[in-house]
């Protein structure tokens, strides 16, 4: 049993923003693995399928980004999964745009959604795949940057990063 959670914000206005890289990555995995996200449970939109014979739940929390831990904790309880059976995907301003970093555990860093996941679940032992979005331009407020639409000229680069992030998730699923 594995659970893959993408952090993001619901709503058309957030569909292709820097802060929605986790949602976009789960959508990519959904397409790759033919797992439709169609069920509302545990404060999330989920899809259940399998990967190499093991049950796999893909998830997009329906909570506000900064309250994502509630959804993760509910999913872990519902599916009787350990924190190490969860993989969280999210954007990271501390990584250069397009860079991917995989960690088996650690703090939530500067990402409020991941910080909430760690706090609510009570453990740093949650594997994660971080998708670099880089820092905002000088004098631009962080919230405006992460919630702003990704410029069309930059979407191809970020789409490639999302594909790489999904590759890393598949490696983690194979390793477990």
Domain positions in the chain are 2-175
Which residues, at least 6 apart from 48, have a Cβ–Cβ distance to it below 8 Å? Answer: 35, 39, 55, 56, 57, 58
Helices (H), the chain: 21-33, 68-78, 112-121, 142-146, 152-175
- Residue 49: predicted pLDDT: 97
Average pLDDT rounded to a whole number, residues 147-154? 90
32: tokens are 């790759």
pLDDT at 97: 92
Confidence tier at 154 by pLDDT (50, 70, 90)? confident
pLDDT value, residue 176: 59
pLDDT of residue 102: 96
pLDDT at residue number 175: 84
CATH number at 2-175 = 3.40.50.1470
- Mean pLDDT of all residues in the chain? 95
CA-to-CA separations, 120 to 73, 109, 131, in angstroms, rounded? 7, 15, 22
Average pLDDT over residues 79-89: 97
Q: With contact defined as beta carbons under 8 Å apart, do 42 and 63 qualify?
A: no
- pLDDT score of 144 more than 90: yes
* Residues annotated as part of the active site: 19
pLDDT at residue 64, as a whole number: 87
pTM, rounded to two decimals: 0.96
CB of 83 closer than 8 Å to CB of 76: yes
């Amino acid at each position: 049993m594995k659970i893959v959670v993408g952090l993001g914000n619901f709503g058309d206005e957030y569909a292709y923003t820097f802060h929605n890289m986790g949602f976009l990555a789960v959508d990519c995995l959904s397409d790759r693995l033919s797992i439709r996200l169609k069920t509302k449970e545990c404060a999330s939109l989920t899809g259940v399928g399998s990967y190499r014979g093991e049950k796999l739940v893909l998830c997009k929390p329906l909570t506000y980004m900064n309250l994502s831990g509630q959804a993760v904790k509910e999913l872990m309880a519902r599916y009787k999964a350990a924190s190490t059976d969860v993989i969280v995907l999210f954007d990271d301003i501390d990584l250069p745009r397009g860079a991917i970093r995989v960690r088996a555990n650690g703090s939530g860093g500067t990402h409020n959604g991941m910080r909430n996941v760690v706090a609510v679940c009570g453990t740093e032992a949650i594997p994660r795949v971080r998708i670099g979005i880089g820092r905002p331009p000088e004098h631009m407020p962080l919230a405006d940057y992460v919630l702003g639409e990704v410029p069309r000229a930059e979407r191809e680069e970020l789409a490639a990063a999302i594909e790489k992030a999904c590759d890393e998730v598949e490696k983690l699923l194979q390793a477990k």
